[in-house]
Amino acid sequence: MFKWHSAANNPSKGDDMFFKQRNKKNGPQETTTCEQKPDEKNLKLTTEALRSVLGENSDVTFKEIYINSNKDLRTTLLYVEGMINTKTVNDDILKPLIQESKLSEDRSLKGLIKLIEYGTVYHAAHKTRTAINDCINDVINGSAALIFDSESKAITFDVKGFEKRAITEPTSENVQKGAKDVFVETLRVNTATIRRRIKTPKLRIVQTIVGRQSMTAVAVVYIDGLTNNHLVDEVKKRLDNIQIDELNSPGHIEEYISDSRTTMFPQIAATERPDRFCSNIVSGMVGLIIDGLPTAYIVPATINQLMQAPEDYAHNYIVSSFVRSSRYFLMFLTLFFPGIYISVATFHHEMIPKDLALSIVAAKEGVPFPTFIEVLAMLFAFEILLEAGLRLPKTIGQALSIVGALILGEAAVAAKIVSPSVVIVVAITGIAGFTMPNLDFSNALRLWRLIIAVLSCIAGLFGLTIGSLILLFHYCTLESFGVPYLSPFVTADGKSWADTVFRLPLFLHKKRPEELHVTNKRRQK
């Protein structure tokens, strides 16, 4: 029922070999988006009919109007209170309807509708609706409708006027240098933000509705003639296949359009920064904006992309390369450090330098637990602190970090419950994990860190190696929208390596990422 609201001239024959078959269980879906009474579709567009559908709502207003005070020319104004801007309705719709004498010159409603359509009521965004559902949708989305019963027609005016959050500074993806705007919960504001950054007429923002009850608008953003058409089609296909009640939380979209459901790693990248979103769109990726969510999504996601921070392009390339490469190092550190510590402290003692071993022994003296229990307990304690910090109101958050981390840690060490070296290891691990630019990615690393630590407890470096091989194997099996998760590291040609572990100077980024198979490969001369 809800068609793609754009003349996207993409070949709709998706290359099925290119993408993994998914949603097999769901099969072809019926296209109804909201549960409707069987006869509702066939209802004529009249005030009575609309009243039967929406009339019980206390926030829906029906108001009968005589055009130009002429009793014969009647229309009904329909809107949802709070969703519209009352001043606009008064000044730009009601006022001309009442005052514009030209409207009563033509005595028929047909002529009147034509006059309104061609601008006698001066409002830019209006649509003429003949189907009742279209009309209802418009009204629910913040339009005011003028219903002409005898013609079974309605003209809807987009007069949205609900409260929306202002564009503030980013909260999780902060930068010192560079743009400081952020996506907000309102789809139209976000699409406008993107349009302001990518002004090419080929930018496509096409919309669909997801969620049978919530009926949330989701916009797919790409650049026509640049983005891989198969990718765009696949994204649209997967969105169409989502058959859920509501789309109010990021999981509702992430879980339904991701390739693999057995992985912890994010397969679409979330961002709250329009600049990052746009630069990915221009690179040939496809963006998703969801009404009601202040994060936008970029598909496909690769490890390389998840490891990039927006600030990487703001600083000198040598500095950025250093930061980027150390971020990769920290990824390994946060994954393996507890495991390595357990391994060398309980299995491969000869790997620790002698003096360090002696100081570890000195610190460990009197601690009743074996090293691996200490490490696992501390890792768990760290998770507790993280979770508690998230749940607490911001004002108490400070207290938590002081009581939880400082006092408790200090006391635990002083009481010889954990050894200071373990506290150091876990602290370094935790802090290293915070440097990951993507939250979902760092969460996945947190869990894998635990798995690897457990394996290290069992068999030392042998277990650690098994763990890392399983992880590597897992990475290799992952694909995001037909793009290998490890690309471009898995490609042998090294063409897209200019922007990976090191960020080479921008003039070397001549081509768009190879793995995206974009239509227009070259991004600069």
Partner 1 sequence: MKKYLLAGVLLVFSFLMNGCGEKTFLPERKELVDLELIEAVGIDKSPDNPEDIRVTITSKMDKQGAGAGRMEATGQAAQGGGAVVVSSEGKTVSEAARIFQTYNKKQVFWGYADFFIIGEEAAREDLIKYLDLLSRGQALRHNARIFIVKDATAEELLAISKTGALYVPQLLNILLSSTGLMSVFGRLELIELMGRLDDEYSDVIIPALRIAQKDPIGQKKDESDEIEIRLEGYAVFKDAKLIAFADKPESMGINFITNKVKSGVVNVKDSTDREVALEIIKANTKIIPRFDGDTVSVLVKAAVESNVAEMHSTIDIFNKDELEKLEEQQAAAVKQYMETAVKLAQINNTDILDIADRIYHKHPVKWQSLKGRWKEIFPNIRFDFEVASAVKRTYDIRQPNKYKAGEGE
289 vs 345, which CB is nearer to partner 1?
345
294 vs 338, which CB is nearer to partner 1?
338
Q: Catalog residues that contact partner 1 under the rule CB under 8 A.
A: 262, 345-350, 352, 354, 357-358, 360-362, 364-367, 370-372, 455, 457-460, 462-463, 466, 470, 473-474, 477
Closest by Cα among 477, 476, 483, 478 to 517: 483
Least spacing, CB of residue 83 vs partner 1, in Å? 48
Least spacing, CB of residue 344 vs partner 1, in Å? 9
Closest by Cα among 250, 279, 253 to 179: 279
Least spacing, CB of residue 372 vs partner 1, in Å? 8
Least spacing, CB of residue 350 vs partner 1, in Å? 3
42 vs 262, which CB is nearer to partner 1?
262
- What are 278's two structure tokens? 């746009």
Least spacing, CB of residue 423 vs partner 1, in Å? 16
362 vs 431, which CB is nearer to partner 1?
362
Least spacing, CB of residue 345 vs partner 1, in Å? 5
Distance CA 245, CA 256 (A): 12
113 vs 345, which CB is nearer to partner 1?
345
Whether 280 and 287 have beta carbons less than 8 Å apart is answered as yes
Taking CA atoms, 78 is separated from 55, 56, 413, in Å, by: 10, 13, 68
**Backbone φ and ψ of 5, nearest 5°:** -85, 55
Task: Decide: helix, strand or coil at residue 282.
Answer: helix
Detail the DSSP E strand segments found in 173-214. Answer: 203-210
Least spacing, CB of residue 264 vs partner 1, in Å? 13
Distance CA 228, CA 516 (A): 7
DSSP 60-89: EEEEEEEGGG-TTSEEEEEEETTTB-HHHI
Give the helix ranges, DSSP H, for 407-438.
408-414, 420-434
357 vs 439, which CB is nearer to partner 1?
357
Least spacing, CB of residue 352 vs partner 1, in Å? 8
Closest by Cα among 129, 111, 23 to 68: 111
**Backbone φ and ψ of 32, nearest 5°:** -65, 135
56 vs 350, which CB is nearer to partner 1?
350
Distance CA 41, CA 221 (A): 31
Least spacing, CB of residue 451 vs partner 1, in Å? 9
1 vs 361, which CB is nearer to partner 1?
361
Give the helix ranges, DSSP H, for 258-370.
274-283, 303-306, 317-346, 354-364
142 vs 339, which CB is nearer to partner 1?
339
**Dihedral angle over CA of 236, 242, 248, 252, nearest 10:** -100
- What are 253's two structure tokens? 């979209």
195 vs 416, which CB is nearer to partner 1?
416
Least spacing, CB of residue 475 vs partner 1, in Å? 12
